Each structure stands twice: as structure tokens, then as C-alpha cells.
A and B are shown apart, each in its own frame.
Chain A
Amino acid sequence: MDPMLTIQELKHLATEIRKDTLRSITAAGSGHPGGSLSAADIMTALYFRAANLNSPTDPDRDRIFWSKGHIVPLLYTLLAYKGFFPKEELTTLRKFGSRLQGHPKKDSPPGVETSGGSLGQGLSIAVGAAYAARYDHLPVRSWCLTGDGEIQEGQIWEALMAGAHFKLDNLCAIIDNNGLQIDGKCSDIMCIDDVAAKLRAFNWHVISIDGNDMEQCVNALDEAKTVKGQPTAIVAHTIKGKGVSFMENVVGWHGKAPSQDELTQAIRELDAQECE
């Protein structure tokens, strides 16, 4: 078991993870930095504090499903920092022959729980895993990362129905609510506000937070573990491209790799924030 990291240590870790995620995307020449950066804080909190995850093969580990599979560069970096595979491999992202596929492929590398990338599928899988864990009286929690663009997919709402119907209180959905999707603002493309109200109407316990505030992330994830009789949804209000000034809230950085110069600038900014 990892020693419990402090908020300050988690913040530092999230910055390092952001930097290595961007390095891998630049090395690949393509990939999805915007969402990787928006979700970096809460997923760092999940992987390094909230979730029980010491080995990718432990049958009693928490299961974490990445429904918004396109931000897999962040997942790979987290898994490398967990020690599940060598960090040096991160720069093989999206290259021919690499284990680090452009979208998640199960067990490639270890710690990728399921294949994905066609949006909307992950929460159903998380429902199934939570159902089985409860049936077997395992201490396993099932977590699913989704996004506010992704929840335009109808299957997400099928899974929300099922999670509540089965009263799966070992299930938690994290919605990376960064407000942008490929074609523009979510509110312009297909508005689903008020997300929290809709989730409550589906009988989920809802926690709304600033998803780029590490303390709020940690507290929300801890709260999810205490809820009984219903699943929890954390609506993490985040900034797409968080931490890099020229990427923040810019639609164009959804799926574009930073150039070498842009990477240097981004890392400089992230390092500067560390010193603040």
C-alpha cells in the first residue's frame, strides 16, 4: 500500500504527470491534450490516494474504467507513475508496435482495464464490475471516468438507470465537466445542463466540485466511498487544457499535439506554477 500522499504531494504529482503526458503527446505527434489536462487532478487523486490499486493483477483491486478513452495519454502516464510499466515507454505513444495504442486496448500496458474509445461504453462496464463485486462480497470499488461531451451518448443514460436500479453503492462515475467538445462548447452543440440535476433525477448521489482543486477532488472521492444504497456521481467542473495558458478553454487543443516549442513553453508554465 502506498503511503497516503498529502494534498501538496498530490498537487506536485499531478504537475509531473501533466508534463509527462504532454511529452508523450508531442513525441507521438498526435493525441488529446485538452481532456488529459482537465482530468489530471482528479485522476491523480484517484490513482494515488482514493482507489485501492497496488497491482494491476490483484483480484481485489479497485477497477477504474476510462470511458472517455481518447485521453488515454493521461492514463498511460498514471500507470507508469504507479510503476506498472517503465516510464521510458511513454514516448512510444501511438507508434507502430507500441503497447500504448491511440485509444485504450485492454491490458496494454497492464492496468488498462478495458478497451475503449468509442464513447459511451465505460459506465455500463463499471456497472457490471460493481454488480459482480457486490455479488462476491469483494471490497472492490468500480470507478468510471466520463466526460460532459461523452454523456450525450444514450448508452450512458442506460447505465445511469441501471446503476441506480441495482443500488450499486460501490460504483462511482466521475464526469470531467470541462465544457468543450470537438465541435465547440457542449452547451452550444447539445446542451445537457443541468448535469447534476439530471443525475439526481436518475437517483444518483451527486457531488459537484471544482475538479482542478486537489483538496476538493480528494474529499469528493472519499465521500463517494461512504455513500450507501445508491451510486455516486462526481461532477468535476474542470478547465480543458488546465495548467497551460494557451491551451486552457481552447477547443482546438482537444486533439492536437503540441510542437516541441509549445511543449517547452507548456512545461515552463507548469514548472512556474509549482514554484508559486
Chain B
Amino acid sequence: MATAHKDVCGTLEGKATRFGYSDGLLILGTTDPRVFVLDADLAKSTTSERFKKEFPDRFIDCGIAEANMVGIAAGLSLMGKVPFTSTYGTFMVDRALDQIRVTVAYGELNVKIVGAHGGISVGPDGATHQALEDLGTMRMLPHMTVINPCDVNEARKATLAVAAMQGPVFIRLGRESVPILTDDATPFEIGKGITFEDGDDVTITATGYMVYEALLAHEELKKQGIHARVLNIHTIKPIDRELLVKAARETGAVVTAEEHQVMGGFGSAVAEVLVQDCPVPMEFVGIKDRFGESGTPDELLTAFGCRAANIEQAVKAVLARRKR
């Protein structure tokens, strides 16, 4: 069980996961000469600019042309390179979906697609720039691996791990600073969830930033005598069936938490597993079939129901259903 998060849990000090991406790229720049980085005029925002400064001959700014960027990355990969493409998640996934589907996923190309600015916490830019469907859209594509790191360290590890594997990958990043929950000792293996807190009363399974909110909920519930198991599911596809089923079997009730549409997203992914292998009462925390809006990240996380309080409420609801 990982315990690194306990040192920082409850503080708001942290770093945005997008910096973990470029931390990883800077390592790869030295260790893996196959790695190329492509951006679409948002290198500063995605932080891929840090790679550009160190390895300018392996950085391609494609301009504001996401579909073309994915195609160029495909061509690079066919020549043995390992291209990472990054821009805002909305543009990365939605503008270039056809290219990602037909060229990259169907062709099983070794292209790493990175969508920054995922989630409602993007803030004042509003609905157009808040990726709320990226994980769901990407996880529907055959051959695609989908990863949503919970903190800057996990984002770095994910970046390194996907470069070492063959095949198409989507990684989601966030814009805002988030608490650091893991350290170098925390394991990271694609497809393997991590148990952050043990408990047998209920399971809270969370992804991305919501892992932090799940830990806050865990602390609060503990005071009330409810011992929640907290799972960090960084890989949404392939999802860790074994860990999820074991948790469902041992706790009998599951709450999912994501900064994303529940419909088709992480909650759906977990439900698809449990309904087959271990049906238990479930509640879903996340965005409920609506677009975002402008506001501060704090205001929006609260307004859109992505808080520890929402998780607590869901835990109580799911426990009430289990008793019936």
C-alpha cells in the first residue's frame, strides 16, 4: 500500500500535472533519442516548451492545426520515432479524433497523445477549453491506453512509462496545481491501480485530481467511524479489474470519483467491470451530463460536484442502499 500521500494530504501545496509531463520529457530527451515532441501553438501551456528549449531539433511546433499534428506524429512513428503530441485536451481529442481513430488507433501506431487542461478546474477559460469528455472518448477506441495521473510525480512516471511501451496512448494533464500524493517510491505500472487507504466499509475509487478529494473524504469519514478504501486508478484503460473486483467484494459498496463526465467516463468504466464480475451498489461523483462554465477552479469544483463533500454524500447514499 502506498503511503507517500500522508505527508501532504490536506495541504494545497503542489504542482500541476502538466509539469510532470515535461519533467518526463526532459528525462526522455536524454535517455531516448527516438522521442519527438509536437505541439500546436500551446507549448507554454502544456509545458512542452521546456523540451523545446533543451532539444530544439526534436521539437516540432505544428501551428494551430491539430489534425495535421497527429498525422505528422503518425509519420514520425512509422519511421521509428516516439512522438508525443500535446495541446489542450479539448482540441487534442475532439479536433483530431478522426486522425486519432483511423491513423493512430486503427494503425496501432506508437503515438503518445497528451491532452492538457483536463477537467472543470481549467477555470476561467470556460466550457470550450475544459476537457470533460476526453477520457471517455479515448477509452472507446480499440488499442488505446488511457492514463490520468493524480499528481506531478505520477505524470512524470506515466510519461516515462508510455515511451517504453509500444502502441497508442492518451494521457490527461491538468492546468492547476494539485497536491503531491506520491513520491519516487510509489509504484507506477500501467494498468495497475494503487490502494492509497485500506478500509472495508466502502470503496472510493478515484482518478486524477479526484484522488486527493477522495483522501480528504476518507479522513472525514474516518472521524465518523466509516473506514473507506481509497483506490487511485491512474490507468482507465486497460482498467485494473482485479483490484476493483476485490475491493467491491470486500467492501460491498463502491463510489467512483472523476473530474469528467460520469456518462462514458471513469464511473462507467468501473461500472462495466463490476456489473459483470461483482455487482454492488454504486454511486458516481463527477460531471453530470453538462458543459462547464467560467469561474475559479475552486468555485467550479464545488459547483460541479467534484469535492470531498460530494464523495462523502455519495458514500452515505451507497451505504444506505447496501443496507436495504
Contacts and interface: CB of A to CB of B under 8 A. Distances in A.
B214 interface: no
A130 interface: yes
A100 to B, nearest CB: 16
Interface stretch (B73-81, B86-94, B273-281): B73-81
Contact of B106 (A115, A128, A132, A154): A115
Contacts of B72: 124-125, 127-128, 131, 162
Q: Secondary structure at chain A's binding surface: helix, strand, loop or mixed?
A: helix
A13 to B, nearest CB: 27
Contacts of B36: 132
B295 interface: no
A114 B62 CA distance: 21
Contact of B75 (A118, A126, A138): A126
Contacts of B27: none
A155 interface: yes
Contact of A158 (B67, B81, B101): B67
Nearest to B104: A115
B103 A132 contact: no
B99 interface: yes
B107 interface: yes
Per DSSP, are chain B's interface residues mostly helix, strand or loop, or mixed?
A: helix
Contact of B103 (A116, A129, A136, A158): A116
A55 B72 CA distance: 24
Contact of B98 (A106, A118, A136): A118
Contacts of A165: 63
Interface string B104-118: 001111000000000
Nearest to A133: B79
Interface string A113-124: 111111011111
Interface residues of B, number: 32
B76 A121 contact: no
A72 to B, nearest CB: 13
Contacts of A138: 79
Interface residues of A, number: 37
B76 A114 contact: no
B36 to A, nearest CB: 8
A204 B33 CA distance: 31
A159 B63 CA distance: 11
B305 interface: no
A225 interface: no
Contacts of A129: 75-76, 78-79
A105 interface: yes
Interface string A42-66: 0000000000000000010001010
B108 A158 contact: no
Contacts of A154: 67
B102 interface: yes
A158 B79 contact: no
Given A118-B102, A128-B74, A162-B68, A135 B57 contact: yes
A142 interface: yes
Given A63-B78, A121-B71, A125-B74, A131 B99 contact: no
A162 B64 CA distance: 11
Contact of B71 (A106, A128, A133, A136): A128
B68 A159 contact: yes
A114 B71 CA distance: 11
Closest 5 CB pairs of A and B: A128-B75, A124-B71, A132-B79, A158-B68, A128-B72
Given A115-B103, A124-B71, 7 more contacts: A115-B107, A121-B67, A123-B71, A126-B75, A129-B75, A132-B80, A140-B79
Interface of B: 36, 57-58, 60, 62-63, 65, 67-81, 83, 98-99, 101-103, 106-109
7 contacts: A106-B108, A118-B102, A121-B67, A124-B70, A132-B81, A159-B71, A161-B63
